Amino acid sequence: MTEQACKLVNALTPGHDGTHPVQPPPTGRRAQVVSDLLARPDYRPQVEEGDADGMVALAESLRVVFEAAAGGDLDTAATAVNVLMREMGSVPQLDRARGGGWALHFHGRDPGLVIGWGAGIAAGLALAIGSDLAGRLGVCQADPCDRVFVDTSKNAGRRFCSTRCQSRVKAAAHRARQK
């Protein structure tokens, strides 16, 4: 669920992707963008514009969590996640897994798209913040980029949202050393 959180934040909140300004998709295109972000080979959600607007609001709330956690402010991150879990009514439930067996999922207080996804994402972030994984939630350190990521590296040393941002920073540092 944290991967989905990253996708939503990065696609639906304003800021910078590398050096390129990013704006949320315009009304009228949001539903298709959200549907594409949530799609899997076995799942293609039907997204209405109202749902897409709700997902934009959810993404804005999720950005607060990533920024706080990346800045080491776990009190703010935890408070924001608690608010989201209450709003969404996150409830754990064992569901039949695709390959057989059982998987733990979190469902919302109603079956709607925003509540359903929001409940699972909020619970996933709560599990990260409530464990030693809180430091794995990051915001790209390549100025002016502000895209978010989850550090899945072995050494927990990721600082950038992409290799493109990492290369840009390394190239700038190299040029500065050559002067």
Sign of the CA dihedral running 89, 122, 126, 72: negative
Torsion angles phi and psi, residue 106, rounded to 5: -115, 130
pLDDT at 132: 86
Residue 67 sits at the vertex; the CA angle it makes with 127 and 39, to the nearest 5 degrees, is 65
pLDDT at 173: 86
* pLDDT tens sequence for the chain (179 residues): 788 999 999 999 999 999 999 999 998 999 999 999 999 888 899 999 999 999 999 999 999 999 999 999 999 999 999 999 999 999 999 999 888 899 988 988 888 999 999 999 999 999 999 998 888 999 999 999 999 999 998 988 899 999 999 999 989 888 888 88
Write down all domains in the chain, each with its CATH number in brackets: 2-178 (1.10.3300.10)
